[in-house]
Structure 1
Amino acid sequence: MAKILVVDDEIGIRELLSEILYDEGHTVELAENAAQAREARQADRPDLVLLDIWMPDIDGVSLLKEWSSQGLLTMPVIMMSGHATIDTAVEATRIGAINFLEKPITLQRLLSAVQAGLQAGERSQRLAQQAAAPLTTTGLPPAAPAPVPAAEATAAAPAAAPGTEPAPRADSVALSGESGEAALGSIALNQPLREARDAFERIYFEHHLACENGSMTRVADKTGLERTHLYRKLKQLGIDVNRRSRPANRGN
Structure 2
Amino acid sequence: MANILVVDDELGIRDLLSEILNDEGHTVDLAENAAQARAARQRQRPDLVLLDIWMPDTDGVTLLKEWSTTGLLTMPVVMMSGHATIETAVEATKIGAHSFLEKPITMQKLLKAVEAGLVRNGGTAAAAAPGVVRKPGMGIVAPMPQVELTVEAAMTGGQNLPAVVEMGPQARQLFELDKPLRDARDEFEKCYFEFHLAKEGGSMTRVAEKTGLERTHLYRKLKQLGVDLSRGKRGAAG
TM-score, length of structure 1 as denominator length: 0.52
Amino acid in the other structure paired with 2:59: D
CA 236–94 in structure 1, closer or farther in 2 if over 3 Å, else same:
same
Q: CA deviation at 1:103?
A: 0.4
Q: Quick one: structure 1 residues 100 and 234, their matched pair in 2 at CA, closer, same or farther if it must change by over 3 Å?
A: same
Q: Distance in 2 between matches of 1:81 and 1:118?
A: 20
Q: C-alpha deviations, 1:13-67, integer Å up to 9, x for none?
A: 0000000111111000000000000000000110000000000000000000000
Indicate which of 198, 204, 226 corresponds to 2:213: 198
Q: Residue 192 and residue 46 in structure 1: after superposition, are their counterparts in 2 closer, same or farther (change >3 A)? A: farther
Question: Over residues 95-148 of structure 1, what are the superposed CA-to-partner deviations in whole Å (9 max), with x where a residue is unaligned?
Answer: 00010110001111111110000000117xxxxxxxxxxxxxxxxxxxxxxxxx
Bigger relative contact order (CA 8 A; separation at least 6): 2
CA contact (8 A) 1:33 1:57 kept: yes
RMSD (Å) for aligned C-alpha atoms:
2.6
Which ranges in structure 1 are unaligned for 5 or more consecutive residues? 124-187, 207-231, 239-252
Cα deviation per residue 1:210-233 (whole Å; 9 max; x = unaligned)? xxxxxxxxxxxxxxxxxxxxxx99
2:104 partner SS: coil
Tell me whether 1:82 sits opposite 2:92 in the alignment.
no
- Which residue matches 2:62? 62
Offset, 1:195 = 3.0
The one-character-per-residue Cα deviations of 1:176-215 (angstroms, maximum 9, x if unpaired) are xxxxxxxxxxxx9xx789736324xx6xxx9xxxxxxxxx
What amino acid maps onto 1:37 in structure 2?
A
- Which residue does the alignment assign to 1:5? 5
Q: 1:237 to 1:121 in 2, by over 3 A?
A: farther
- Compared with structure 1, are the counterparts of its residues 197 and 237 closer, same or farther at alpha carbon in structure 2 (3 Å cutoff)? farther
Q: Distance in 2 between matches of 1:48 and 1:234?
A: 32
- Matched position secondary structure for 1:83: coil
Contact 1:53–1:80 under 8 Å retained in 2 = yes
Q: Write the distance in 2 (CA, Å) between the matches of 1:194 and 1:52.
A: 36
1:43-54 to 2 correspondences below 5 Å: 43-54=43-54
Q: How far apart, in 1, do the equivalents of 2:15 and 2:218 lie?
A: 14
Partner of 1:144: none
Shift of 1:235: 5.2
Higher Cα Rg, which structure? 1
Distance (whole Å) between structure 2 residues aligned to residue 63 and residue 120 of structure 1: 21
CA distance in 2, matches of 1:103, 1:37: 20
**Percent pairwise identity:** 70
SS at match of 2:63: helix
Tell me the TM-score normalised to structure 2 length.
0.55
AA of the residue aligned to 1:10: E
Per the TM alignment, residue 237 of structure 1 is displaced from its structure 2 partner at its CA by 9.5
SS at match of 1:49: strand
DSSP 3-state at the match of 2:213: helix
